[in-house]
Chains A and B, each alone.
Chain A
Amino acid sequence: MKNKKTVSTVILSLVALLSSLIIIVPLLIVVFGSFKDAAEAQLFNLALPSSWHFENYQVVVEKGNMGRAFMNSMIITLVVTLFVVVAGSLNAFVVSRKKCRFTSFVYYLFLLGMIAPIQIVTTYGLLQMMNLTGTFLGVICVEAALQMPWTIFTLSGFIKNVPRELDEAAFIDGASPLRMFFCVIFPLLKPIMATVVVTTAMGAWNEFMVPLYFFSSSTKWTMPLTVYNFFGQYSSNWNYVFADLILTALPITILYLLCQKYVVAGTTAGAVKG
């Protein structure tokens, strides 16, 4: 019996190892390739670079305008995340605490946002009318609107389990609603906040369609847009393309490895029915 168990453990572990290679091998080819010269990178193999070309990264940062793109992505990601988290949690708090016609309307309004795709053409028209095309503000507003529904549903699901007695205690102590929210409720949301912040930041960082439609000037381009454009120009220099991919994926990958618990919780938070 014991022997049979060990055998199945070994076999299953081997299956897992083989499956993981489908993910690991292409990623390793990209990582190694980013340090090779053009001819060697083009072989797309798992050999270590015969000589390490760290300068590939320098070339990419300069020619690909990565510094600028990094700042642009940072600005958009930070503002979107900040707004979505603050406005979203205020909204989720009232929607999950108060049962009335208004709040159930709000619930269905955001449910629509969970399903329906963005109407990008008329959004373009709207931004044009508001003189917001090609501006950070326009892109930030659209991306924040896109991220809002998931945030509100995730937070509402969590707030339901925060005891109401806390609100009442604060109320009896004479706190204003805003003060009660930020001093009593907000600190209790820490675990779910980490999930919401990380998920929103990843979504904003990786967003491609919105900046593609709304930024015509390359000075405002975000990392994914810059990479796409760089690939178009240097598609025969795979060493540069790979270095560019690494630079774009690195911030998110580091965030994922550091906050893995919260990232995966975000996946399943959406799966919990509320």
Chain B
Amino acid sequence: MNQKKFYPNYFTYPAIVLFFIFYCIPIIASFVMSFTNWNIKRINSPKFTGLKNFIRLFEDDYFMLALKNTVLFAVATTIGIVVLGLLLALLLNAAIKGKAFFRTVFYLPAVLSLIVVGIMFKAVFKLDGGILNQILNAIGLSGLTRDWLGNGTTAMWSIIFVQVWKWSGFAMAIYLAGLQGISTDYYEAARIDGATVWQRFRKITLPLLAPAFTVVITMNTIGGFKVFEQVYVMTNGGPGNATQVLNTYIYKEFSKGTLGRSSAASLLLFLLIAVIAVIVNKALTSREVEM
């Protein structure tokens, strides 16, 4: 059969053209503009300035803080989601009542807009009458109540909590698909050999879930580095710069009109994600076993 004629290349063009113009060209442009003094005031006449943007970024304490916060956010949320998602999946895979209802509820946060979720959690974390402080008061832990988002040390962890709240159900769905793919024969055989529940989990469930772990960890690490909306709506990087992350820093620089510098920051985020995605994926894929 004539492949060329039957699967014509022009079928692929509309998607490629759009993707190339609106996604790839900006990436290439970022590599160029990061080395210029491109500015909103002279948008059409950027001048080459070498590594100056990058040097200035690394000298800027706020940028370094944003970088540190972003890494903390990505790592902490990934760990939280990987563990909680797995617990939820195991729970729903066990014999419980009302599975369909719980699956619907646990997944629901994943479809809600980050803006809606962020504003809702402002009500949760509020100092006066906020839902969390009310609960703490009710269970006799009034000493722990505080202005969760207005406090430099707790603000970042509150935003991390929101991310875990939003995406654990999504991870659960991935694990559940993985769990359903594991043949019950393995468990049957292990039971006959006298393996305990814990041994069955360690030696059968965990290794055979490796592909699901790869997907959950990779997706959430990448997603964590891209964090923007939650921070923008909940603290806008504050108090002070305590919750500044790379994407809010980029937006701040962009709003000031220093386009060259914000391109440089954006390019660094791009490189960071690309490197980490490759490393994480390589490390995890090698641990997967054939079913």
- A residues contacting B by CB (< 8 A) are 5, 8-9, 12-13, 15-16, 19-20, 22-27, 29-30, 42-45, 83, 86-88, 90-91, 93-95, 97-98, 102-103, 106, 109-110, 112-113, 115-126, 128, 141-142, 144-146, 148-149, 152, 167-168, 171, 177, 180-181, 202, 205-206, 208-209, 212-213, 223-224, 227-228, 231, 238, 241, 245, 248-249, 252-253, 255-257, 260, 263-264, 267-268, 270-271, 273
Write out, one digit per residue, whether chain B residues 209-237 have a CB within 8 A of any chain A CB (1) or not (0).
00110010001001001101100010000
| Cα of A123 to Cα of B259 in the assembled complex, Å | 11
List B contacts of A93 (CB < 8 A). 7, 11
List A contacts of B18 (CB < 8 A). 83, 87, 141, 144-145, 148
CB distance from A35 to the nearest CB of B (A): 15
B192 contacts A by Cβ under 8 Å: no
Chain A residue nearest to B84 (CB atoms) is A19
- Is the pair A128, B95 in contact by a Cβ cutoff of 8 Å? no
CB distance from A10 to the nearest CB of B (A): 8
CB distance from A239 to the nearest CB of B (A): 11
CB distance from A124 to the nearest CB of B (A): 7
Interface residues of B in 1-59 (CB under 8 A from A): 1, 3, 5-9, 11-12, 14-16, 18-27, 29-30, 33, 38, 43
List A contacts of B122 (CB < 8 A). 231
Q: List 26 A-B contacts (CB under 8 A).
A: A12-B96, A13-B96, A16-B102, A26-B121, A43-B129, A44-B131, A90-B11, A91-B15, A93-B7, A116-B27, A119-B29, A125-B43, A125-B259, A141-B22, A145-B18, A148-B15, A167-B6, A168-B1, A177-B5, A206-B112, A227-B115, A253-B112, A264-B103, A264-B107, A264-B173, A271-B174
Interface of chain B: mostly helix, strand, loop or mixed: helix
| Cα of A89 to Cα of B22 in the assembled complex, Å | 19
B254 contacts A by Cβ under 8 Å: yes
B142 contacts A by Cβ under 8 Å: no
- Is the pair A268, B173 in contact by a Cβ cutoff of 8 Å? yes
List A contacts of B25 (CB < 8 A). 122, 126
List A contacts of B94 (CB < 8 A). 8, 12
Given A97-B7, A209-B229 in contact, is the A122-B131 Cβ separation under 8 Å? Answer: no
| Cα of A224 to Cα of B11 in the assembled complex, Å | 34
Interface size on B, residues (CB 8 A): 92
CB distance from B121 to the nearest CB of A (A): 7
| Cα of A128 to Cα of B134 in the assembled complex, Å | 49
List A contacts of B115 (CB < 8 A). 206, 208, 224, 227-228, 248
List B contacts of A103 (CB < 8 A). 12
List B contacts of A171 (CB < 8 A). 1, 6
**Which of A94, A116, A121, A209 has a CB less than 8 Å from the CB of B228?**
A209
- Is the pair B97, A91 in contact by a Cβ cutoff of 8 Å? no
- Is the pair B270, A119 in contact by a Cβ cutoff of 8 Å? yes
Given A209-B229, A228-B233, A249-B113 in contact, is the A94-B11 Cβ separation under 8 Å? Answer: yes
B177 contacts A by Cβ under 8 Å: yes
| Cα of A196 to Cα of B95 in the assembled complex, Å | 32
| Cα of A106 to Cα of B104 in the assembled complex, Å | 36
Given A253-B111, A273-B211 in contact, is the A121-B259 Cβ separation under 8 Å? Answer: yes
List B contacts of A42 (CB < 8 A). 129
| Cα of A196 to Cα of B127 in the assembled complex, Å | 41
- Is the pair A90, B15 in contact by a Cβ cutoff of 8 Å? yes
CB distance from A80 to the nearest CB of B (A): 11
CB distance from A102 to the nearest CB of B (A): 6
Query: What 18 additional pairs, Cβ within 8 angstroms, besides A87-B15, A268-B173?
Result: A9-B96, A13-B96, A88-B15, A91-B16, A102-B9, A103-B12, A115-B222, A117-B226, A119-B30, A119-B266, A142-B22, A146-B23, A208-B228, A227-B115, A241-B119, A245-B116, A245-B119, A270-B219
- Is the pair B15, A25 in contact by a Cβ cutoff of 8 Å? no
Chain A residue nearest to B27 (CB atoms) is A119
B187 contacts A by Cβ under 8 Å: no
List A contacts of B5 (CB < 8 A). 177
- Is the pair B129, A94 in contact by a Cβ cutoff of 8 Å? no
List A contacts of B27 (CB < 8 A). 116, 119, 122
**Which of A13, A125, A141, A168 has a CB less than 8 Å from the CB of B33?**
A125
Given A145-B23, A177-B11, A260-B104 in contact, is the A124-B131 Cβ separation under 8 Å? Answer: no
CB distance from B216 to the nearest CB of A (A): 8
| Cα of A170 to Cα of B222 in the assembled complex, Å | 42
Given A113-B23, A171-B6, A209-B229 in contact, is the A252-B14 Cβ separation under 8 Å? Answer: no
Q: Which 5 A-B pairs have the closest CB atoms?
A: A122-B29, A145-B22, A91-B15, A206-B113, A87-B14
CB distance from B218 to the nearest CB of A (A): 9
Write out, one digit per residue, whether chain B residues 82-115 have a CB within 8 A of any chain A CB (1) or not (0).
0000001001101111100011111111111111
B207 contacts A by Cβ under 8 Å: no
Chain A residue nearest to B2 (CB atoms) is A171
- Is the pair B106, A23 in contact by a Cβ cutoff of 8 Å? yes
| Cα of A268 to Cα of B110 in the assembled complex, Å | 13
